[in-house]
Structure formats: structure tokens, C-alpha cells
Structure 1
Amino acid sequence: MTALKLELRGITKRFGSLVANDHIDLTVEPGEIHCLLGENGAGKSTLMNVLYGLYEPTSGEIVVDGQPRTFRTAGDAIDAGIGMVHQHFMLVPVFTVAENVMLGNEETQALGWLDRRRARKKVLDLVAEYGLEVNPDATVEDLPVGLQQRVEILKALVRDAKVLILDEPTAVLTPQETQELFRVMRALRDSGHSIVFITHKLKEVKAVADRITVIRRGKVVGSADPSSSETELASLMVGRPVDLVVHKEPAQPGEVRFTLENVTVLDDFGNVQVDSVDLELREGEILGVAGVQGNGQTELTQAILGLRRPAAGRIRLDGRDITALSPRKTLDAGVGFVPEDRQHDGIVGEFTVSENLVLDLVTRPPYGGGIAINPKKVRENGYKRVEEFDIRTQSIDSPAGSLSGGNQQKVVVAREMSRPLRLFIASQPTRGVDVGAMEFIHQRIVAERDVGTPVVIVSTELDEVVALADRIAVMYRGRIVGIVPPTATREQLGLLMAGVEDPALLEKAATRPSLELDVEDTPRDRHNDGDNDTDTTGGEEGQA
């Protein structure tokens, strides 16, 4: 295979007045895993969409093996040897692996008939060459997520991709599947492929990257070596020192305050999403709900809040049955709720910051009553919460939609935590926020637990669940398959996340050292151009 060198020179991408990428220079050498590290919203995916021909750059150029290229479509990028595996897979569920791999690049016989035998052989050849281990005859919808991801990689390889872009590839994987993906990535690298690995997860960067480029607010703010500490990388991402450790004392749980009794929840099509779940939560403890996205976590939180009526079972808070309450009455009962999608369910972007801070309080004194709202009290509360929760905004009168993602999340957290609570639920509490805002939100969650409030945290970030939770409930296909302490090994948690309930296997996994991401024993030679030292001073101060 002929290796390929890729260069981005001065790439700028504007959407109106928003500068998503600002004069970015990036070189990807042949046969390396180059990590593009940055918080959600930093401009990483936009840059890769420019490279893959999905966006046209406002200015700058793409150079492949010394030749400037213009990509107006993804087909142009594919023809140049660039492939991309998107965070959300683009597969046809009812097609086989071979059919998905060949879709758009079909092999034909005489008279135009599809040559399925040749397509199948191509897949088998690639599987054997790179150790991808997937059955070409399997139907995609029957495959676990990790194998579906391999199908996406096969789609790129069969089109002779020499540079492979992986956009947040571990977001939907168990720890074991992440390990296996890294094995595949190293095999591809060793065969001469280049991989651009987009992520915000520091442990993964250190485990698999050969070089690291850090992007903040659309700009390259520095390069780093994988030997850099997580603290150094986090500081480079945010622009200031960050404490990555969640500091909390051991829980002092009291009496049972919240229960789920045989709760079953259906989706809009009548499919079971939450299957006979039983849970108990005591005052002064944090219950973490772990699992790969799409295993019923969203429907479970919706049922608790009253957004979705359970098909069976009971939900009780302090002995009161709240199963059939509306969302308004559930909030009035003392439930604080941070939704997983803040822009859709958490804020009203056109409303001011101060108005968003009282969205669920405007019918109560002192902020309102009847049809009247007290603007003075709303503004007073706005000033107070902006200071207390360190919300970075030009004014309390600024539209909430104009704030950074981290500050929008702080608005939601501030609103929900600024009233007496009997239960606090946070779904993906730090999704899309930088590590600075993450540090602050974690502190507030722990503080809520410490005043005696029972807390439920739902997160697909396993590190977050382990750091915050006093107990961890693992969901798989709508069921609670295990409840373990946060000291459980990553291997045990990974097995549960994959639906493994065999007591012997779980006991064996529980006695092993915690599963860590494998780092190669012998570091590869880095393409050191003198620019790879960690720079923790570059760029402007990041908004928390």
C-alpha cells in the first residue's frame, strides 16, 4: 500500500459570524495515529467535515502528497484516499455486512447483476488482513455496536482509504470494545494507514496516539506528546489549570427515599425500552446509572420526570406515588432534573439568562403568581445565580442561546439546584462541556448529596460514573443487569455493559486488576519536528 501524507494549511470555516475553524494548520504523517484533542464544540468535527468534503472551507487549502486538492463532495475525498467513520454510523440495518460494505461501490456481473460472491470475498480478505473479525453474512441490526463500527471501517478500507478519520469512535463502546478498537487502529497504522482520531477523552489519547494536536475555540493552541500527563493535556484544552479529581467524602446514606418498583416503559412504537426495573435510593447517596447509550437510560429518566407514562410499575418519592404526575407536578414535588439535551429540553435559547434561571419557578412567589411575573425578583435571582454558579455571560439579559455550551449547562444546573430538592436527577450532566465546567458541576452534585438529597446520575462516560457514584447500576437492553460499588473493576463493568450476567465470569472479572487502556510497551518513534512539547500557555483563556 502506498502511504499518504496529508496537510491542512490555514483552514478557516465560517458560518455567518461564527468562526468554527480559524487558520488551522495540521500535518498527518504516513503511518501514524494523530489525535485531534479538544472539548465538544472546539471545532474538531467541523475541521474533519471540511477534510472529508462535507463542508467547503472559507479559506485555506488541503494538500495530499504535496498536491493541493479541492474536495467538493465526500466522493472527492474518497477518491483521494480519505475515509471517515462518523460518530453516528451510516449503515442500513436490514442489510448484511457485505451489502453495507459494498453499498455505493457494488460489484456486478454480466447484465448488471450484483456479484455478491465477489463482494463477500473482498470483505473476508480485509477481515483476514486487519483482524477485524466480523461475519460478512451477518445482518447489521443483529450486531453489537462494536462490530457495527468495524463495518464502517471496512466500508472505508474497501474504497482504498489511506487516511482514516475516526470521529469520537469510543462514544458508544464498552471498555472491552474500546480495547479491541485500539488493537485494530494499531494494526492499520502498522500497515501504513494514517488515522486521525478525534476525541475529548484524555486516557484514550495517552493510550493510542502517536501525536496530539489540541484545538480550542477553533484554533490550534498547541501540540503535545502522549507522555504528557492528563493534567497537562486538560490545561491545554481549557487554557488554565484544572483539577481532574472528584473530591468527596464517603457517603453517609440514610433511609430509603426513592424507589422504582417493577417499572416498565415503552417507546412511541410500543417497544419495551425499560424492562421491569427495581431500584432503591437512599438520602445522601449518589446512584450512577451506567451503560452504552440507547439501553433505556433516556426513557427511564423521562418516566421519572413524567415525560413518559410507565406501562407498568410504580415510582415513589418519600412514600408518595408519583408515577402518574405531570412534569410540572413532579417538579413541584421536589424533583430537580438536568436533561441530556440542554438545548432541546433544558433552556429556551431566545429567553434571557435570568428568565431561564426561573423557568420552573415563575408561577411561584416571589417570581410570579397567576399571570404576573415580577421582573425585579427575576433579575435579582439572575445576578445571584450567575455569581454563585460562575456563569460566564456578558449580561443576565443576554439570550441563553448565545452562551457557550458549558455555560448553558451551568444555567440548567443552577436553576435546578437553587430550590429545596427531595430528589436530583442529572442525565449526561457534563455532555459537551469543557473540563473546567465539568469540575464545577461535579462539585455541585457532590454538595447536593452531602446535604442529604438522593442523587441519580445517568452518564455514558464511565469515568464520570465511577468518580461520582456511591453505587453503580448498569443498564443493558432496558434491564438492570447488576448493581456494583464504584470500586468494581473496569472489566467487570464492561462485561455488565455488554449484558454478561454469568456469575462466574463476573466474579473472575471482579478479582482482576482494574482494566486500563493498553499503552504500547515500546513507544513508536514520534515525527518530532521540534513542535511537540506540551504548550500549556497558548491561546486565550477558555470559557468554563
Structure 2
Amino acid sequence: MQLELKNVTKAFGDFVANDSISLTVEPGQVHTLLGENGAGKSTLMNVLFGLYQPTAGEILLNGQPVRFSGPGDAMARGIGMVHQHFMLVPVFTVAENIALGHEDTKGGRLDLKTTARKVREISARFGFDIDPDALVEDLPVGVQQRVEIIKALIRDAELLILDEPTAVLTPQETDELLRIIKQLRDGGTSIIFISHKLREVKEISDVITVIRRGKVVGTADPSASSSELASLMVGRDVQLNLNRVPAEGGSPALEVKNLSVVATNGTLLLDDVSLSVAEGEVLAVAGVQGNGQTELVESIMGLRPVQSGSVSLHGDVLTGRPVKEVLRYGVGYVPEDRNVEGLVGEFSVAENLVLDQLDRPEIAGRLSLHRAAVARNASDKIEEFDIRTGSASAAASTLSGGNQQKIVLAREFSRPLRLLVASQPTRGVDVGSIEFLHRRILRERDTGTAVVLVSTELDEVLEMGDRIAVMYHGKLMGIVPGGTSREVLGLMMAGSTAEEAFEAAAGSAQPGSEENLV
């Protein structure tokens, strides 16, 4: 199937999410849409899939103009979409999920046997190894994604849209997905691959279209360097390699001992986790989202009660202390969702920069802020952290994601720190801001601050971690040196202990390549 988008525009009121976008996807081609979060990629695909109506422009399939009133129309014309967040019912079987909305019937009754047969046929053709009778909630996320792909293929999709498809996958699951995409392409399926991960984009793409702020700013060949692609994405030169020096490391700062956390329904969220972080060290915590990282961070910060175990900083026990007291012990906190926990969007940039300092007499009195002091602080921090804002009095919600994150980091670095806990510090942040944030965190590390950095982005973990801890189902699978191979980390993210992962990776390595495991 050939797809053409001609001058497609999508506006929401005065905001133009897609601005006169034109591109062509040829049959049997992987066409990547590359751009930062918020660039307009997903909006464009929602227009193509019939979820949004275009404000202007036209869509052509095999040279014929089409207009979709909803996803059903798009699917009827051979377009399938695998969304970033899976559209599956956990308590249904694979066959039930695939039949949902497109039920085969026999004698007026639901015919799941026919659906199961089709699942097995597609599974065998592409090597998916999917049991149609398995409950979706029992399947790993990588297998759930294959179920989503089968949903599209079973409806004869000739064009498949994959929206950030590797966001919740281990490295091994990512490699398997890329293999499947190549197999689909070689079979004649047209594929639109939406991503911001440069390594994957370079590996899988036939053509790369770069979108920035809702506009096509260029096309690139997969042979282009990562730096060239990053520069197209943000509109300026970007230094991707930090060239950081290894941590010297000091005495232990943070000590987490035998920490267990239980949900209100009795589910064990953290299972006997123990770790330590030294002064002047970054411990990067890796794992697929939802494997206990959030609970670990919240337990350290005093945001979540623990069932057993303890957290201490330089010998002072923090367990059971209120968050305000934990902060006063010299702990900085960058939450995983800045809009929920890190900022008050309606407050000004200046006000957000002092949110955790309102008990300081130089910042606030009993009834009001000392505006002059708040303004001076804002001026200093805006300059030091390169916060791009028209005014310190602008609402924080009006800034880009990267600049909002700079506000959070600037506020936390406004006081002496002994520990920085940064959870997903670059989520939804452009490549240029990521570069700045990474350098600033490493500068703090080099002053002797212990750093716990939690990230689902493996590139970030490898770039920043002096040591790397891997979480799986609430357990710590091990702590390995920084620079450990993706293969080893991927095996640990899937449930292997560090020892098992190193042994398995060494067994699969080529002779003489064992040094690449670390």
C-alpha cells in the first residue's frame, strides 16, 4: 500500500499540532517519524487512523483520496495501529481480545475457534509463539505487543503504524520486535515507525522524516550520524557523548536494607531490597516500568510506608520520617511526573523555584512571600540553568517539558545536598535539554553527592550509571558495573539474576568477545 499525506494540518483552537505535513510511504517500506515528545508525531498518526479529523489537507491511499470518520474506516481500508499504550483487556484471553469488535460468529454465537485458528496461523507465519487461549494479564509485555500486531494483521492490515513500540520492552524484546518489523516489511507491509530513540531508528528505517514543532523539517538517510539526527530534531548542534570521568566514590551515603513494601490489597511491591550508594557515585536503577522502581523511590523519600526494612543516610535513619524532614536531611528529589509532584503549573516560574523553601525567613514571612528575594533567586537560577522563559512571572505550565524539568532541578540544587533521587529525570525532555540535565547531575555527583537515578531508558542508564541496579517484579536482580552490556542488562530486566545473566551472555558470545559483557 502506498500512503500519501498532502499538506495535512491539525489544529486544536489556536494551537497547531500539525502544520501542513506532507510525506509518502511506499509499499514494503519502513518509514520512520522521528521527533521529540510533543513534536506532533502521534497527533499525525491519530489523524491517519481516523481518531482525529484533519483541519486541512488530504490523505491518499494508492493514489485515491480517502477520509476516515473513525478507526473502523481506517481498518477497513487496510490500516492498523499499535498504540504506545496497549489496547488490551487484561482478563480476556488472546483470542477474546483479538475478536473484540470484529467477532466471528457461527449460528449467531461467538466463534472463538475460528479466531484462535487465525491467531495460530499468523503466529506460525511470523514466529510469534502465541497461545490464543492464554490470559493477556499473564503475558510479558513483549508478547502483549505481538498480540497487538496480530490484531492488526488478522484484519488484513497493509499499512501498520507503530507508535513508540519499544517504550516498555527489554533490549531482547526490542531486538525481537525489530526482527518482526523487518519480516513484515519484506512481506510487503508498509510500516510507519514512530520513535525518538536514535539507535533503533538507524537500525530499522528505510526513510526517516523528522518533525519538529508540528512541521516536517527534513528527511534523512539511516546512515546519518546520531548527532546529525539529533540536530535535526532540536534545531541546533547537540553533543550526545558526555565523555564523563568515572566516579572516584567515597564512603557509603545511602543505605537501603531489606526493604519490603506491600500494597493495600496485599501485593508485594518491594521484596527485601538492599543496596547502598557511595558519596560521589551515580547508582542507575534500570528495569521495565512497573517493576518496583516507583515504590523504591517513594520509600526512600518517605512518600510510602514500608512493611519492613530501613533507609538511612550517613547513619541517620530516614524510615518513618515525613517528607519535609527527609528533604531537610539534604535529600533532593526529582519526581517521575513533574506535572503531578514537581510543579504547580499555575504558579510562576519564580514561585516554583522556591516551593520547598517557604519556611526560610529570607524567602517568606508568615503571610506572604518576600517578592524581592524570590525574584533575585529566580533571576540567578534562570541564568545558571538556562531556563528558557520570557519572564520569571510566566506560569510554569507555559514552558516546554525540558524547561519545566530545569525548574525542578534548579530548585533541588538550591540547597546543599547529600543525596539526589532523580526518577525519570529526562522523560518528555528534548535531546538538547537531556544533554544539559545529564551534565548538571554529573556536576553534582562530582561535588560528593550520592545520586540514585531511576530510568526506563537503557541509553540513559548506560550513559549515567557508575553502577547499575536492575529491578524485576519488586526484586533487586543484582548490581553490576557501569558499562555492562545491553544483553546482560536485558536478561536481568527479564528476571535473571546478575550471575545467571553474565553466564548466559558469555555462553552466547563469540569467542574472544567476553570483555564486551562489561
Bucket of the pairwise TM-score, normalised by the shorter protein: over 0.9
Specify the SS of the correspondent of 1:368: coil
Specify the SS of the correspondent of 1:484: strand
Query: One-letter code of the match for 1:24?
Result: I
Question: Which shifted more, 418-427 or 448-457?
Answer: 418-427
Give the conservation status (yes or no) of the 8 Å contact 1:134–1:147.
Answer: yes
Picking from 25, 29, 40, the partner of 1:28 is: 25
What aligned pairs does 1:49-128 form with structure 2 within 5 A after superposition?
Answer: 49-110=46-107, 112-128=108-124
Which residue of structure 2 aligns with residue 42 of structure 1? 39
2:200 is aligned with 1:232 = no
Which residue of structure 2 aligns with residue 423 of structure 1? 419
Give the conservation status (yes or no) of the 8 Å contact 2:284–2:452.
Answer: yes
2:338 is aligned with 1:342 = yes
Which residue of structure 2 aligns with residue 6 of structure 1? 3
Specify the SS of the correspondent of 1:284: coil
Query: One-letter code of the match for 2:328?
Result: D
Which residue of structure 1 aligns with residue 328 of structure 2? 332
What aligned pairs does 1:364-403 form with structure 2 within 5 A after superposition?
Answer: 364-403=360-399
Cα 1:510–1:400 shift into 2, 3 Å: farther
Give the conservation status (yes or no) of the 8 Å contact 1:274–1:299.
Answer: yes
Give the conservation status (yes or no) of the 8 Å contact 1:251–1:285.
Answer: yes
Picking from 491, 494, 501, the partner of 1:495 is: 491
- CA positional deviation for 1:258: 0.8
- CA positional deviation for 1:49: 0.8
Picking from 428, 437, 440, the partner of 2:433 is: 437
Picking from 274, 278, 291, the partner of 1:295 is: 291
Query: One-letter code of the match for 1:348?
Result: V
- CA positional deviation for 1:173: 0.5
- CA positional deviation for 1:163: 0.7
Which residue of structure 2 aligns with residue 522 of structure 1? none
Specify the SS of the correspondent of 1:418: coil
Give the conservation status (yes or no) of the 8 Å contact 2:259–2:273.
Answer: yes
What aligned pairs does 1:197-212 form with structure 2 within 5 A after superposition?
Answer: 197-212=193-208
2:197 is aligned with 1:186 = no
Cα 1:510–1:323 shift into 2, 3 Å: farther
Structure 1 distance, partners of 2:82, 2:130, is: 17
Structure 2 distance, partners of 1:17, 1:301, is: 39
Specify the SS of the correspondent of 1:360: helix
Give the conservation status (yes or no) of the 8 Å contact 2:284–2:455.
Answer: yes
Query: One-letter code of the match for 2:106?
Result: Q
- CA positional deviation for 1:267: 3.1
- CA positional deviation for 1:194: 0.6
Query: One-letter code of the match for 1:255?
Result: S
- CA positional deviation for 1:504: 4.8
Structure 2 distance, partners of 1:413, 1:175, is: 29
Structure 2 distance, partners of 1:190, 1:514, is: 33
Structure 2 distance, partners of 1:341, 1:85, is: 24
Which residue of structure 1 aligns with residue 262 of structure 2? 266
The normalised TM-score by structure 2 is: 0.97
Query: What CA RMSD, in Å, does the superposition of the two structures yield over aligned residues?
Result: 1.5
What aligned pairs does 1:461-472 form with structure 2 within 5 A after superposition?
Answer: 461-472=457-468
Which residue of structure 1 aligns with residue 402 of structure 2? 406
- CA positional deviation for 1:85: 0.4
- CA positional deviation for 1:222: 0.1
What aligned pairs does 1:161-180 form with structure 2 within 5 A after superposition?
Answer: 161-180=157-176
Cα 1:55–1:432 shift into 2, 3 Å: same
CA deviation digits over 1:120-159, x for unaligned, max 9?
1111111122222211121111111100000000001111
Structure 2 distance, partners of 1:202, 1:391, is: 25
Q: Which runs of 4+ in 1 moved over 4 A?
A: 513-516
Query: One-letter code of the match for 1:82?
Result: I
Picking from 442, 460, 465, the partner of 1:446 is: 442
Structure 2 distance, partners of 1:440, 1:220, is: 25
Task: In structure 1, list runs of 5 or more residues that go unmatched.
Answer: 517-544
Structure 1 distance, partners of 2:21, 2:59, is: 11
Which residue of structure 1 aligns with residue 153 of structure 2? 157
- CA positional deviation for 1:192: 0.8
- CA positional deviation for 1:422: 1.3
Task: In structure 2, list runs of 5 or more residues that go unmatched.
Answer: none
Specify the SS of the correspondent of 1:213: strand
Question: Which shifted more, 143-152 or 248-257?
Answer: 248-257
Specify the SS of the correspondent of 2:440: helix
CA deviation digits over 1:208-237, x for unaligned, max 9?
101000000110000000000101101111
What aligned pairs does 1:244-283 form with structure 2 within 5 A after superposition?
Answer: 244-283=240-279
Specify the SS of the correspondent of 2:105: coil
Give the conservation status (yes or no) of the 8 Å contact 1:265–1:312.
Answer: yes
Identity of aligned residues (%): 59
CA deviation digits over 1:357-395, x for unaligned, max 9?
111012113211433321110010001100000000010
- CA positional deviation for 1:257: 1.0
Count of residues in Structure 1 that have an aligned counterpart in Structure 2 = 512
